[in-house]
Amino acid sequence: MSKLPLLGLPPYASTQERVWRLFFYIFCGLVLLFLISPILIVIPISFNDSKFLSFPRDVWSLRWYEDFFFNDRWTTAVKNSVIIAFFSTILSTTLGTIAALGLSRPNIPFRAAIMAVLISPMIVPVVITAAALYFFYANPLMLPGESNIILNNTYVGVILAHTLLATPFVVITVTATLTGFDQSMIRAGASLGAPPTLVFRKVILPLISPGVISGALFAFVTSWDEVVVVLFVGGTEQRTLPRQMFSGIREMISPTITAAATVLITIAVLMLVTVELLRRRSERLRGLR
Amino acid sequence: MDASDGAPSGLLKNMEVRVKQLLSLTVSALAVAAVFSVVDVPKAVAADQLTIVSWGGAYQESQRKAYYEPYMKETGVKIVEEEYDGELGKLKAMKEAGNVTWDVMDVDSGHALAGCDEGLLEELDYSKIGDKSKFLPGTALDCAVGTIAYSTIFAYNADVYKENPPTTLMDLFDTTKYPGKRGLLKKPFGNLEWALIADGVPAEKVYDVLSTPEGVDQAFKKLDTIKKDIVWWEAGAQPPELLANGEVVMTSAWNGRIGNAIKEGKNFKIVWDYQEFDWDYWVIPAGTKNVDLAYDFIKFASDPKQMSQQSKYIAYAPTHVDAIKLVDPAIAPTLPTYPDNMKTAITTDLVFWADNNEELTKRFNAWLAQ
Amino acid sequence: MAIADRAPLLTIDGVSLRARLARAERSRKLKALGLILPLFLFVLITFLIPLGRMGYKSVVNEETFGRLDHTNQALSEWDGQSVPDEAAFAALAADLKAAQEQRQAGEIAKRINYEYAGAISKFKSITRTVSKMETGPYKEVFLEADKVWGDPRLWRTIRNASGHYTSYYWLSSIDLRHGAEGLESVPPDQAVFVDVYGRTFWIAGVVTVLTLILGFPVAYLLATQPAHRANLLMIFVMLPFWTSLLVRTTAWFVLLRSEGPLNDLAEMIVNQRFEMIFTRFGTIVAMTHIQLPFTLLPIYSVMKNIPPSHVRAARSLGAGPFHAFWKVYFPQTVPGIAAGCLLTFILCLGYYITPALVGGPRDQMVSYYVAYYMNNIINFGQAAALGAILLIITMVLYWAYNKLVGIDKMKLG
């Protein structure tokens, strides 16, 4: 019929269909290339010896990594990012998981509305959230006159803000795990004589833990990546890694940003792998596979 | 009835136990976070740390070498660096919030005056700094003490223009003779003066013309002629970067930044025609908790011997008369104060900008966005 | 139910079963709500109330309220058309003197200057003048200092700004202002924001369409491949999704430059370099790259649940391949398309970092101006009004998303 390869089509496919299929594959290939190549292209540039952002021509060098790992500005930024991401992850995972447990009970009144409110920090443009928090932090207790408590330029302020931005992710992932939750498993456990504590520990917890852990990962990444809130409510002391990269691009263009980017890409790969493994484990446990 | 209704009621209790554990975890996390911030706050206000805000890039590097590092070595004080683009907005916001975390700032002249007017800056007590009369005229202000003389010039990439390079300010505005993108500072400051001069206004009349609405219109009209060819820069580190990467063929810049790029081997050339001469100052933000330490640092940085060091690292001239004598004669031709470079120089009118910056910036931003 | 009506069922301790069940149900609901409460309160206190306070900032005269009380009172009888009388001038002089002592005169001048361009320098100089004067008359001094003090529009501005509330910021956000006869457009050299909102919608729309065009085929590919290959290809989608926004923006910043890799490639192929960084084109490309997974993933998860037998059935009934795809497969993907596109559109409206770093001055969206008025100009009222309008638009779209897709359906990864 045609010399064109079948490309996974049934043998009765027409030539026209095969041409289309070929075109389709090429198109998809290009899109996937578009998705991945910008990220990969930063990596070789980070090994450049020159002070300007270009591909290494003759000399490869680790000088930008040296700057990243030993320069005070960058190491402080990493330290700040870790501290802030750690605390906001714990807070948001706790708050989000508890709320998700409540939300997945049947017949909650106004469930949709409550859910919409809890998810809204993810939807509202971050600049608006940051601006609102900036005003709020200047006088959190809303007392008249000058406030004694100011959360701007403090760790607590940034951590609370990141917690706010991260909870929607936890709520979504944990509720998602709980919706697939087969209630008959609880009854099965109980009918086999397990006391409720045991049912919780042996049945519910293992089932929701992948959701909780991936929610926590999302929360971590949200805080770890966040720059707008830090720009608004963070001070010099709270300068985080993304904040440092932002000024790296705007104020003192240095190839160290590409070294930082490469390190962050490596971390992203690790996160991706972890979440994928968790997802598979969750599906296996819930019997979806 | 929903399947879950059959769940044993003890389960709820159990979840509550979980919830209690989680809650106690939250509380302890909050406590730890609070401890962290408490531990960190004294560090910020403790007398052994000073936050200095400057303009980033090569300039800040020169300050680091000439002042910060020697000062830290001598006193053991830790200097935390911050960079900004010359806007007092953030300072004003910090002051309104009652939480000023900047201790010393490097500002240009327009902001030195405006900041003083608006009560953002501490009025200086010169007895804590040094002999006021030893500073060049116009550099010892009420709230600000001069640190360097810099100028806004334009520079081009000599690899691009091997023959017939641009030599006058007119060439910056001439896109037929010199096609290609040019970089300009994303502020009205400096650009409006140049636009008027390029449009034929005599240098000494520039501020008179600019004080009239028609003059402002004229300046924007002139800028309109090259608007589509402008790449705007905001930070001093950007112009050499834009030139080196071929983003622009010529750009306005602060002379020291170009000077440093040349030192690093870039084939850039500076055009001094109608250079815009100005000062940078040290100031102390009103409301900082480290006033004494801030004075101590400024005194250290205003010492002639120390001040003369900075010219080694960037081509800016000192403001202290004794420091000028100590500058290496070999680098004098690269400084904005060198007579040959000063032939057509215009001096920035501080008072004009202190009064009109707000309005012109508003107009400029509207013009940019259109 | 009919049986219960006649003889209520009782539990062992004699309470009606229905009441008992209702109570159990109620306590279950309360317990569930109790679990939700901590997060709800957290969101309420650190998010909803601050948003409300931001809205308040956009209608209140913070810089001037309480500082121009004398003037406000003196102008209460004024007709708004003529030059005010000596009393008004004296009142303003008194207010300015008091403000000068508190170092607040600069703020008043700045606030008036928002509405009356040029007022700031006039205020500064007149404040200096009247501070030296013990007593009046002031009117001549003012008028002699500058003829601007004889302009009724300036006085109307002062009167409006000395009240507690103002509509100035909201009007200004849509390029309107109070004129002599009601509302009028601001002069064209100041009209910016309508344009900015239009541009924000335009960019968000283009990016949404592009992500759909690029994402739909790939989602189809991923949904129809065998699991092991699909999982492998999925990495291409998920890695960008997990990579920091700053990293991706940095990547585009590097790629799009005149001497960057993309232009090197262009020079090799077509012997020409293109202007890409600091342009609308660059902004849209970078945003499309960042948003693509957000559009693609919801479509993919819908497609995965479409049984392949549907298309096969259509084919076996004689439909051509395209006809079968279009009539049988495509309609089933519409919910995914709606979910993905709406989410991308909503998220695009709030973009700030990417346009700020790879766009030019004419590519900045609403968020940029909110940040700019907050951090650079320190005009909190304007920032709050611009933000409030964007917030309302976003909330309407979010409501639509909730109606159309349902927030429960939102999936991550």
| C-beta atoms surrounding A112 within 10 Å | 13
How many residues does this entry show for chain B? 370
B166 and B264 belong to one structural domain: yes
Q: What is the pLDDT of residue B20?
A: 45
For residue B44, the model assigns a pLDDT of 41
Q: Where are the domains of chain C?
A: 2-57, 69-166, 193-409
Domain CATH for B364: 3.40.190.10
Residue predicted with more confidence, A202 or C90: C90
Length of chain A: 289
* pLDDT tens per residue, range B255-306: 999 999 999 889 999 999 999 999 999 999 998 989 999 999 999 999 999 9
CA distance A60 to C191: 51
Beta-carbon separation of C375 and B232 below 8 A:
no
Q: What share of residues in chain B are helix, strand, coil (percent, to 5)?
A: 50, 20, 30
A190/B8 touch (CB, cutoff 8 Å), yes or no: yes
Tell me chain A's radius of gyration from C-alpha atoms: 25
Question: Domain check: are B165 and B300 in the same one?
Answer: no
C-beta atoms of C29 and A109 within 8 A: yes
For residue A152, tell me if it sits in a domain: yes
Q: What is the pLDDT of residue C412?
A: 61
Residue B177 CA: distances (Å) to CA of B16, B161, B164, B249, C258: 79, 11, 10, 12, 21
* CB-CB under 8 Å, B99 with A152: yes
Domain identity same for B20 and B104: no
Q: Does residue B143 sit in the same domain as residue B220?
A: no
Q: Is the pLDDT of residue C33 over 80?
A: yes
pLDDT tens over chain B, length 370 residues: 333 333 333 333 344 444 445 445 555 555 555 444 444 443 444 458 899 999 988 899 999 999 999 999 999 999 988 888 787 877 887 787 777 889 999 998 888 888 887 788 999 999 999 999 999 988 999 999 999 999 999 999 998 888 899 999 999 999 999 999 999 999 999 999 999 999 999 999 999 999 999 999 999 999 999 999 999 998 888 899 889 888 899 999 999 999 999 998 899 999 999 999 999 999 999 989 899 999 999 999 999 999 999 999 999 999 999 998 999 999 999 999 999 999 999 998 888 888 788 889 888 988 998 8
Q: How many CB pairs under 8 A join A and C?
A: 270
Q: What is the model's pLDDT at position B85? A: 78
pTM reported for the whole predicted model: 0.87
Higher pLDDT, A289 or A189: A189
pLDDT, mean over chain C: 90
Structure confidence at residue B107 (pLDDT) = 94
For residues C28 and A182, the model is more confident at C28
Rounded to the nearest angstrom, the minimum Cα separation between C77 and chain B is: 31
Query: Residue C169 in contact with residue C382, Cβ under 8 Å?
Result: yes
Give the fold, CATH level 3, of C193-409: MetI-like fold (1.10.3720)
Q: Is B39 on the interface with C (CB under 8 A)?
A: no
Report how far residue C229's alpha carbon sits from residue C222's, in angstroms, rounded to the nearest whole number.
8
Please give the average per-residue pLDDT across C52-56, as a whole number: 95
pLDDT of residue B10: 38
| CA dihedral over B173, B178, B180, B183, signed as positive or negative | negative
Q: What percent of chain A clears pLDDT 70, i.e. is strictly above it?
A: 91
Q: Distances from the Cα of B236 to the Cαs of A252, B114, B184, B185, C260, in angstroms? A: 8, 21, 11, 9, 22
- Whether residue B355 lies within 8 A of chain C, CB to CB, comes out as yes
Residue C323 Cα, gap to closest chain B Cα (Å): 43
Q: Which of B145, B139, B119 is nearest to B283 (CA)?
A: B145
Average pLDDT on A240-261 reads: 85
CATH number, domain at A121? Answer: 1.10.3720.10
Cβ neighbours of B363 in C, within 8 Å: 117, 189-190
C376: pLDDT strictly greater than 90: no
Residues B265 and B303 in one domain: no
**Residues B334 and B349 grouped into a single domain:** no
- Region C224-245 average pLDDT: 89
Residue C5 has pLDDT above 70, yes or no: no
* Residue A151: pLDDT over 70: yes
Give me the domain span that covers residue B32: 3-44
**Beta bridge partners of residue B150, listed in sequence order:** B278
**Tokens linked to A137:** 């932090």
| C257 contacts A123? CB cut-off 8 A | no
Q: Do B357 and B257 share a structural domain?
A: yes
Q: How many domains does chain B have?
A: 3
How many domains in chain A? 1
What ipTM does the predicted assembly reach? 0.90
Domain extent for A116: 66-285
Report yes or no: B246 at the C interface, CB cutoff 8 Å.
yes
pLDDT band at residue A204 using 50, 70 and 90 as cut-offs: confident
Q: In this complex, is the C-beta atom of A199 within 8 Å of any C-beta atom belonging to chain C?
A: no
* pLDDT band (50, 70, 90) for residue C89: very high
DSSP-assigned letters across all residues of chain A: --SS--TT--TT--HHHHHHHHHHHHHHHHHHHHHHHHHHHHHHHTTB-SSSSS--SS-B--HHHHHHHH-HHHHHHHHHHHHHHHHHHHHHHHHHHHHHHHHTSTT-TTHHHHHHHHHHHHHS-HHHHHHHHHHHHHSTT--SSS-S---TTSHHHHHHHHHHHHHHHHHHHHHHHHHT--THHHHHHHHTT--HHHHIIIIIHHHHHHHHHHHHHHHHHHHHH--HHHHHH--GGG--HHHHHHHHHHTS--THHHHHHHHHHHHHHHHHHHHHHHHHHHHHHTT--
